[in-house]
Structure formats: structure tokens, C-alpha cells
Amino acid sequence: MKESIKNIVDDPTFTEGVAWIRRHFQANETIVKEGELGKCLYFIEEGKLRVSVQVELEERRRVQPGINDLGQGEVFGETCLYELRARTASVIAITDGSLLEIDGEKLNIYLNDHPTQGYLFFRRLFEIIFERMNRGNHTIECLLAWGLKAHGIDTYLQAPGGIKQA
């Protein structure tokens, strides 16, 4: 993704200040907040960021666990790439660093006008989303197994083929 983004922002027709801006951030700074509206894709040039979501444990008791850490060369905000949408997570800086904030509408126009770069960009973005989905599925499986065991539910489940597990 790094090479693809670099080629796009280096193109003089994809104007800095109009299609994208460079932002410097400091540790503990909120880059995006869950629920706020956004239409930008972010590319991390340097630094570390933490993705977190709000989880309600009980009435009036909420926590905001980190679900993923991101570093140099990674992207986030892809769910808001095509239209103004609510952010699905918060992203907070762990360290100082910098990122590129890329306007989704201008990026889509550029990629439509440059189909080869568009193909390469979306191919890599698809790979990233697939990798994240696999990590998320693994996390869900682990949490489900932990929850079932913590509540003794696993002793009541049937294994494939209808054989009760002991």
C-alpha cells in the first residue's frame, strides 16, 4: 500500500492541500472518534496508533479496549472512503508521528482517471481488509471459546455429528 499511496500523492495532479494533507500528531491525540462522520482515508507515515471501540459491559459501565495497533505504512478509515459515514472505531496515537489524510471523493476521481493505479490500490486494499477480517474472526473465536468455558456452557454443546462432548 505504501508504494501505491506514494505514487498517488507524488502525482502533481493529486494536489496537496486539496486532495490530501499531511498531519503531525502527538501521543494520546485522538485522530478519529467512533461515531463521528468522516470521508477520508488515512495513511500512517510514521508513529503508532491504537484502534479502539466502546464496549458496554453493564448498565452505565463502559470500557474502550484497543482492538488493533497500526504502524508505519498502514491505512485506516477505508469504511468512509466512498461516502460520508460514521466512524466505526476511534483511533488514538500511541506515539508521536505523521499521517496523510486523503479526501475520499478526490481519491476516487483520481483512481477512476488512472485505472491501473486504481486496480493496484484496490487490490492491496482488498488484501488488507481480508487480513483484518481473518484477525477479527480469530479474536471472536478465542473470545467465544473463553466465554463458553468461563460459564461452563461447553459441556452442554454437541460436537459435529451429534456426539455430546464431555
Q: Domain holding 126: CATH number?
A: 2.60.120.10
**Cβ(47)–Cβ(98) under 8 Å?**
yes
| 163 inside domain | no
| 79 inside domain | yes
| 161 inside domain | no
Give the least confident one: 45-49, 81-85, 162-166.
162-166
Residue 50 CA to residue 68 CA, distance in Å, equals 6
Segments forming the whole domain that contains residue 49:
2-152
| 165 inside domain | no
| 159 inside domain | no
Q: How many CB atoms are located within 10 Å of the residue 107 CB?
A: 23
In this prediction, residues 88-109 reach a mean pLDDT of 94
What is the tally of structural domains in the chain?
1
Decide: pTM greater than 0.85. no
Rounding to the nearest 10 degrees, give the CA dihedral for residues 106, 108, 112, 117.
100
- Check pLDDT > 90 for residue 68: no
The model's confidence at residue 26, banded by pLDDT at 50, 70 and 90, is: very high
Q: Which residues contact 96 (CB under 8 A, 6 or more apart)?
A: 24, 25, 26, 27, 47
> What are the cell numbers at 157?
454443546
